Structure 1
Amino acid sequence: MSESPRFDPLDPDLVRLRDIALALPGAGEKLVVGHPAFFTRKVFAYFGMSYKVDGEWVTNPRTVSVLLPEDERLALAEEPRVHVPGYIGPYGWLGICVDDDTDWAEIAELVELSYRETAGVRRIAELDAREEGWPRVP
């Protein structure tokens, strides 16, 4: 029995995230608990994770969750558009709500930072060896 997706595969925000994430060396996409996840050895970005607001679970299909270095995570966590996603939040992940005003260059930078936390030395070296033009913002 297959689980029905909790997202629209053609959602413009997912398409943008997919373009950013899959441009990274060795990146792939898979479903994790019904949500698109982008990975190499480990997942470095999720789309559409749930989070708690006033003790109640909220499902927002328009979020990007990333794993960031502690200094970046602490600075970003102060912003109102940012939340701690369910299940993965205690492991250092943050979710960013996206909308029509989202700065996709910033999202690309955050996705790259998350990639660098998870990808492994060879893939990071491959990314660093690329010519100018990264991050790619669709």
Structure 2
Amino acid sequence: MDTSATEQRVRGICLGLPEVVERDSHGSPAYFVRGKRGFVHLMAGGHHDAGFPQMWCAAGPGVQQELIAADPERFFRPPYVGHRGWLGVRLDRDPDWSEIAEVCTDAYRAVAPKGLIEKLDGGQ
């Protein structure tokens, strides 16, 4: 999948969540709840020595370890934010876009205020 197609797929997923905005962060698209709390950072062209398309996502407690243990070919501990539990996801190995949407939604849930999570769940 080419870089622009990957970027468009992730953009569509993230901007479909309540009150999400996209901003450039270090030369790559990143997604923020209410413009403040980041939850997905996309590097469709890779990051430094890791030249594969990837995204880094906020994750709940224990999720990073669980997913990396279950599938270390797709998930990894990203630099800079991995120590805070963020999850790295490879996007170069025929990604399951339903799973990518679930990971992005879970990342959103990890940082969004309760009212927006209720809105996401259809409560408002």
TM-score range, shorter chain: 0.7 to 0.9
In the other structure, the counterpart of 1:88 is 81
Amino acid across the alignment from 1:35? S
In 2, Cα distance between the equivalents of 1:85 and 1:35? 15
Instruction: Report the structure, 1 or 2, having the larger helix content.
Output: 2
What 5-or-longer segments of structure 1 have no aligned partner?
1-7, 51-56, 131-138
2:60 alignment partner, one of 54, 66, 69: 69
Match of residue 11, structure 2, among 10, 18, 24: 18
CA contact (8 A) 2:58 2:85 kept: yes
The root-mean-square deviation of aligned C-alpha atoms, in Å, is 2.0
Q: How many residues align?
A: 116
Q: Of the candidates 24, 29, 49, which is equivalent to residue 36 of structure 1? A: 29
Q: Which stretches of structure 1, 4 residues or more, deviate above 3 A after TM superposition?
A: none
Aligned residue for 1:38, secondary structure, equals: strand
Map residues 1-138 of structure 1 onto 2, 5 A cutoff: 11-40=4-33, 41-48=36-43, 50=47, 58-60=49-51, 62-78=53-69, 79-99=72-92, 101-129=94-122
Higher Cα Rg: structure 1 or 2?
Answer: 1
Q: Normalization by structure 1: what TM-score? A: 0.75
Sequence identity of aligned pairs in percent? 31
Q: TM-score, normalised by structure 2?
A: 0.83
The answer to whether the 8 Å contact 2:37/2:112 transfers is yes
Q: Contact 1:47–1:61 (CA<8 Å) still a contact in 2?
A: no
